[in-house]
Amino acid sequence: MEHIVVIGGGQAGSSLVARLRTAGFEGAITLVCGEAVPPYQRPPLSKAYLLGEMEEARLYLRPESFYAEKDIALRLGSPVVAIDRAAKTVTLEDGVLPYDQLALTTGSVPRRLPAAMGGNLGGVYEVRNLLDVGRMQPAFGPGKRALIVGGGYIGLEAAAVAAKLGVEVTLVEMAPRILQRVAAPETSDYFRELHRAHGVDIREGLGLETLLGDEQVSGARFSDGSEIAVDFVIVGVGIAPDAALAEAAGLAVDNGIVVDGQGRTSDPAIWAAGDCATFPRNGQMIRLESVQNAIDQAELVADNMLGAGRDYDPMPWFWSDQYDVKLQIAGLNTGYDRVVVRKGDDGALSHWYYAGDTLLAVDAMNDSRNYMIGKRLIEAGKSPSPEQITDPATNMKALLRQ
């Protein structure tokens, strides 16, 4: 009986093994999780869970009993040491597993500050897993002083949680503006003002020179020579694909584990999906860091492991919660040359990205209606004119019928 082994207990790994069973696979399945808990959601870690509004059990993607019911062997707290492609075995800290097919859903790892900059000091945290959040939660409280390093979504979400809990927050971003890598200036402006309205001190175009302190962080010095006192630091300077196992096994790696359109690596018996995988789309190799991609790509890989032979053609979507604002994003804005703004009722706002006359993406702030319309337009390959989008009289739903 064929044995499929999946390494990685996140959204992609859980989705992949569940899909194998619903698609009719009757062989043996083992899901190997490095952490000692069943696969769980990551996005709430920096939001509801950090705020104390969500219990750990609600993070779990499926109850542990699900895996037993589906005859999926769940190896918890079993980090993988190595992959032997010739022998078709996976070596764990506590044993060896043979495989017929192997899937890597190892996700990503947070980028850390170098030790030379104080990255190893006590009170310096990253947000990636339950242990990270458990370590930092006691630091949050009224009157505490926090430095957030990085003005991407993780940094901004952490800043929002800290501010809501009464922490005095300074956020520093080396780039000229927050969200520069992922959003238009219009979206950056919106979230800058949102955070400043909640008392967050945002400093853009400013680098962190070093953290201060002997064993415990006590302050920070910036590239302009200024210093601040801090009680703790959250580092949100991005994530990197967790491709170390794949690279050590000799698989092709380039900003992630390289896969073909079906999710197969350079070894035909090994597949990859989720944050760790880089795949072809529209003539270039890309990697997507989102829940939607983790689920959709993992389910497609499961089907292809069983012989479906389909290529992956995603329609990306993302979200972020900050204070009382829900940001929803549809599409990819890469290559945009124009952004137009549509204002709605009750503060709803959306930013529409165009390359020439082609609609690429939409950022919607508390505007779920226009987010859904934009998403459906992009999926259908329809591009209403920018003038239609900005005109308050435009019946947006009617654009779907054009």
Q: Is the residue at 103 inside a domain? A: yes
When the pLDDT of each residue in the chain is averaged and rounded to a whole number, the result is 95
- Cα dihedral 117, 160, 192, 226, rounded to 10, equals -30
What percent of the chain lies above the pLDDT cut of 70? 100
Q: Both 289 and 230 in a single domain?
A: no
Confidence of residue 346 (pLDDT cuts 50, 70, 90): confident
Q: Both 116 and 105 in a single domain?
A: no
Q: Given 173, 207, 235, which residue is the final one in a domain?
A: 235
Query: What is the predicted pLDDT for the residue at 282?
Result: 86
Q: What is the mean pLDDT of residues 138-159?
A: 94
Q: Is the residue at 318 inside a domain? A: no
The total of other beta-carbon atoms located within 10 Å of residue 335's CB is 11
Q: Both 55 and 123 in a single domain?
A: no
Q: What is the mean pLDDT of residues 178-189?
A: 96
Are the beta carbons of 310 and 30 closer than 8 angstroms?
A: no
Confidence of residue 127 (pLDDT cuts 50, 70, 90): confident
CATH number at residue 389: 3.30.390.30
Q: Tell me phi and psi for residue 314, to 5 degrees.
A: -80, 155
Q: What is the mean pLDDT of residues 5-9?
A: 96
Q: Is the residue at 152 inside a domain? A: yes
Query: What is the predicted pLDDT for the residue at 149?
Result: 98
**Which domain range does residue 75 map to?**
3-109+240-305
pLDDT reading at 115 higher than 90: yes
How confident is the model over 245-300, as pLDDT tens digits? 999 999 999 999 999 999 999 999 999 999 999 999 988 999 999 999 999 999 99
In whole angstroms, what is the distance from residue 160 CA to residue 269 CA? 44
Q: What is the mean pLDDT of residues 130-139?
A: 91
Closest by CA position to 291, among listed 39, 11, 59: 11
Q: Is the residue at 314 inside a domain? A: no
Total domain count, the chain: 3
CATH number at residue 165: 3.50.50.60
Show the tokens assigned to 186. Answer: 């219009």
Rounded to two decimals, the pTM is 0.92
Q: Both 363 and 214 in a single domain?
A: no
Q: Given 175, 200, 235, which residue is the final one in a domain?
A: 235
